Chains A and B, each alone.
Chain A
Amino acid sequence: MSGALQSSRAPLLTTYALLVYAFLYFPIVVLVVYSFNGSGVGGFPPSGWTFDWYRQLFADASLWDAVLNSFIVAAVAVAISLGLGLPAALALDRAQFPGKALFRRLVLLPLILPGIITGLSLLMLFVGVGMKLSLVTVTLGHGTALISVATTEIFAGLQKMDRAQEEASLDLGANHWKTFWRITFPNLKVSLIAAALLIFTLSLDEIAVTFFLIGRDNTLPLEIWSRLRRGITPEINAISTLILLFSISTILIWYRLRTRTQHAGESPAEAAMLPSSLEGEHS
């Protein structure tokens, strides 16, 4: 039946959809093109094609320090958010406890809450306990905010898992620990890798929470942010192009992994909004 529907042509709608894609990709294309522009970030037509901005970029030590900081923060944030998101997803899927609904909402809140509120509240906490702002506070912030992403991703994986294998393992005398490592964990491996990739990318790009928790050392987005105030050169286009390349490749791998285990169209962003999506089917 869908064949009949889908073959019906809708030239107007098709054109409109193409225009929306054009709108979505236009700034990205401009950005990339001007990273090769010899005569500055604006102006038309771009002229004097050059790799100078990339050359300048590779010689820019403080930028690479920021890149390194961002990678360290992102790696630890992945560890924190998976380390807590995995038990959180298991708890939401399998345990009943008082305040479960509140717990679910609290975990997911940072997904939809503007970053400024998460950032500010954490700032108050850290200042309150006398912690100096540094990459440590930034990492704790990212880790905490991204537990939401880890939980939704892993929860989706759990929902697709065949429960019978775990039951069999337990019935055959394996304890919970053994069952977890032999059955649950291997089954969730793809979900965990996918979640890690997405969290890594999101942490690398995070700016709203970081803005409030940053100390002396900058992450990459904050380094770019501070340069934007000092006037812009296509060097920023060049680093942006590299960031885009990096995020696009990780996002595509994430998507591939994800569609291997579950059907598409159920991303964390959506899980946070659709109330049904995080209420366990088996309880």
Chain B
Amino acid sequence: MYSRAYKSAVTIPPLLWVTVFLLIPYAILFCYSFWTVAPLQVIVHNWNLHNYAQLFRNSLYLTVLLRSIRIAGAVTLLALLLGYPLAYYLSFHAAKRKDLLYQLVIIPLWASYLVRGYAWKTILGSDGVLNGFLQYLHITHRPVEFFLYSPFAVILTLTHIYTPFTFLPIYASLEHVPRNLVEASHDLGASPFSTFVRVILPLSLPGILAGATFAFVLTLGDFLAPLLVGGPSGIMISNIVVSLFGAAYNWPLGAAISLCMLLLVVSLLFATERLEKRFTI
């Protein structure tokens, strides 16, 4: 029903823009990762695998990458442990308050990242709210230093930030669970627990996968929370990239790390998409 001209008119402008501002930049990133930096900070365009070799040879990168994966894993797990029950409660028990409660979750979802990160900084700091509270109750007598500037602080902050992200697809998948299946399970004598395990949980797997991917990918690429609350022991892989693009001035190596991250993210998305399709009825 739509003419050829119409289809070109709506297709070509976004296609061009996306090519110039997304596809070409990713291609440049790809190219950079095979170049090197000569003395005097000149980027030399001789193609080689030096950057990638360095990633595997220098144990610093591997250590930080593994730490980032561990932190991302912890955040994902915690976000699921907080987000799933919340989504389940909203979908099956919230009744009339559902809409209000849903809005209460999306407010922190879209509200400022920086503001929430900053809030945790003021809470966890050595003269922060938590330390003040503990001393007020005479539980501790001097500031506890390890709340802030630790992997723990990064995990806590990012869990706070990404729990609503995880909640969202889980809630959507729970809302799509056919209620007559749940009722059939009850009528046939299954306990609420076994109805949950055998009917609801499997049907909500696509949401769990989507939510988990979200939390994992976004945490893995985060460099702001480590700077804000992480300290030296909370440094993550993206912080290395940031420093390579800043003071350390080694764009090619930074590009190689970014490209690895990009590949990891894209393959993860591809894998979850395949899995989701398998679990979706």
Interface on A for B, CB 8 Å cutoff?
1-2, 4-8, 10, 13-14, 16-17, 20-21, 23-25, 27-28, 30-31, 34, 40-45, 84-85, 87-88, 90-91, 94-97, 103, 106-107, 109-110, 112-118, 120-125, 128, 140, 144, 147, 166-167, 170, 176, 198, 201-202, 205, 207-208, 211-212, 221, 224-225, 228, 232, 236-237, 240, 243-244, 247-248, 251-252, 254-255, 259, 264-267, 269-270, 273-276
Is B18 within 8 A of A106, CB to CB?
Answer: yes
Partner of A88 from B14, B90, B169, B206 at Cβ < 8 Å = B14
Q: Number of B residues contacting the other chain (C-beta, 8 Å)?
A: 110
Question: Known interface pairs A6-B93, A20-B85, A205-B112. Does A112 touch B214 (Cβ–Cβ under 8 Å)?
Answer: yes
Residue contacts A-B, CB under 8 angstroms, 28 given: A1-B179, A13-B88, A13-B93, A17-B86, A17-B89, A28-B115, A30-B123, A30-B129, A41-B122, A41-B125, A41-B128, A84-B14, A106-B18, A106-B23, A113-B265, A116-B241, A117-B261, A121-B28, A176-B5, A207-B114, A208-B223, A244-B115, A252-B107, A264-B102, A265-B168, A270-B169, A270-B210, A273-B169
Q: Is the CB of A144 within 8 A of B133?
A: no
- The answer to whether B132 and A43 have CB atoms under 8 Å apart is yes
Closest residue of chain B to A2, judged by CB? Answer: B179
B118 touching A31, Cβ below 8 Å: yes
What is the total of A-B residue contacts with beta carbons within 8 Å?
Answer: 295
Pair A116/B28 contact, Cβ less than 8 Å: no
The segment from B50-58, B59-67, B251-259 found at the interface with A is: B251-259
A232 touches B121 (CB 8 A): yes
Q: Is B149 interfacial (CB-CB < 8 Å)?
A: no
- The answer to whether B10 touches A87, judged by C-beta atoms less than 8 angstroms apart, is yes
Docked pose: A255 CA to B160 CA in angstroms: 21
Which residues of chain B are near A14, meaning CB under 8 Å? Answer: 89, 93
CB distance A240 to B115 under 8 Å?
A: yes
Q: Closest CB of chain A to B45's CB: distance in Å?
A: 12
Which chain A residue lies CB-closest to B276?
A275
Enumerate chain B residues within 8 angstroms of A95, measured Cβ to Cβ.
Answer: 2, 7, 10-11
CA distance A13 to B129 in the complex (A): 29
Inter-subunit contact A23/B29 (CB<8 Å)? no
* A176 proximity list for chain B (CB < 8 A): 2-3, 5-6
- Judged by a CB distance under 8 angstroms, whether B145 is at the interface is no
Contacting A114 at CB < 8 Å: which of B92, B118, B265, B272? B265
B25 to chain A, nearest CB (A): 3
Nearest chain A residue, comparing its CB with the CB of B187: A1
Given contacts A107-B14, A113-B262, contact A42 B127 (CB under 8 A): yes
Give the contacting residue for B171; candidates A40, A118, A265; CB below 8 A: A265
Q: With A10-B89, A147-B18 in contact, do A121 and B25 touch (Cβ < 8 Å)?
A: yes
